Amino acid sequence: MLDDLDAMTLLGAREGLRAGQFSSVELTRALLGRMEASQGDIHAFVTIDAEGALAQAAEADRRRAAGEEAPLLGVPVAMKDNMNVAGQPCTASSRILEGYVAPYDATVSARLRAAGAVFLGRTNMDEFALGSTTQTSGFGPTENPVARGCIPGGSSGGSAAAVGGNLALAALGTDTGGSIRQPASHCGIVGLKPTYGRVSRYGVVACASSLDQVGPMTKTVADAALLMDVLAGHDPLDATSLDVPVPGHLAAVEAVGGGRPLAGMTIGLPKEYFGEGLDGEVRALVEAAAKRAEALGATLREVSLPHAGYGIPTYYICMTAEVSANLARFDGVRYGLRVPREEVLAQYLATRAQGMGAEVKRRVLLGTFVLSSGYYDAYYNRAQKVRTLIRRDFDAAFAGCDLLLSPVTPEPAWPLGVYQDDPIRNYLSDVLTVGANLAGCCALSLPAGATAAGKPVGVQLTGPNFGEPALLRAARALELR
Higher pLDDT, 59 or 373: 59
Confidence band of 423 (pLDDT split at 50, 70, 90): confident
**Mean per-residue pLDDT of the chain:** 96
Predicted confidence (pLDDT) at residue 222 exceeds the cutoff of 90: yes
Predicted confidence (pLDDT) at residue 2 exceeds the cutoff of 90: no
Region 328-355 average pLDDT: 91
Beta-carbon-side half-sphere exposure of residue 84 (alpha carbons within 13 Å): 18
Task: For 330-339, write each residue's pLDDT tens digit.
Answer: 988 888 899 9
Confidence band of 258 (pLDDT split at 50, 70, 90): confident
Q: Phi/psi zone of residue 3: left (φ > 0), alpha (ψ -120 to 50 degrees), beta? A: alpha
Predicted confidence (pLDDT) at residue 255 exceeds the cutoff of 80: yes
Residue 419: predicted pLDDT: 85
Region 201-213 average pLDDT: 98
Predicted confidence (pLDDT) at residue 140 exceeds the cutoff of 90: yes
Region 132-138 average pLDDT: 97
Predicted confidence (pLDDT) at residue 481 exceeds the cutoff of 80: no
Predicted confidence (pLDDT) at residue 17 exceeds the cutoff of 80: yes
Predicted confidence (pLDDT) at residue 246 exceeds the cutoff of 80: yes
Is 80 a known active-site residue? yes
Task: For 82-111, write each residue's pLDDT tens digit.
Answer: 999 999 999 999 999 999 999 999 999 999
All structural domains of the chain, each given as residue ranges with its CATH number in brackets, are 2-42+50-254 (3.90.1300.10)
From the candidates 93, 179, 200, 445, which is the catalytic residue? 179
Element (H, E) at 398: helix 382-400
Angle at alpha carbon of residue 22, lines to 20 and 25, rounded to 5°: 120
Is 179 a known active-site residue? yes
From the candidates 80, 193, 219, 455, which is the catalytic residue? 80
Residue 393: predicted pLDDT: 98
Confidence band of 1 (pLDDT split at 50, 70, 90): low
Region 371-386 average pLDDT: 95
**1 DSSP 8-state letter:** -
How many percent of the chain have pLDDT more than 90? 93
Task: For 462-478, write each residue's pLDDT tens digit.
Answer: 999 999 999 999 999 99
Residue 55: predicted pLDDT: 98
Predicted confidence (pLDDT) at residue 278 exceeds the cutoff of 90: yes
Predicted confidence (pLDDT) at residue 357 exceeds the cutoff of 80: yes
From the candidates 94, 132, 155, 156, which is the catalytic residue? 155
Q: Choose among 448, 151, 128: nearest CA to 285.
A: 448
For the chain, first and last CA: distance in Å?
Answer: 26
Compute CA distances 69 → 66, 115, 134, 224, whole Å: 9, 9, 37, 20
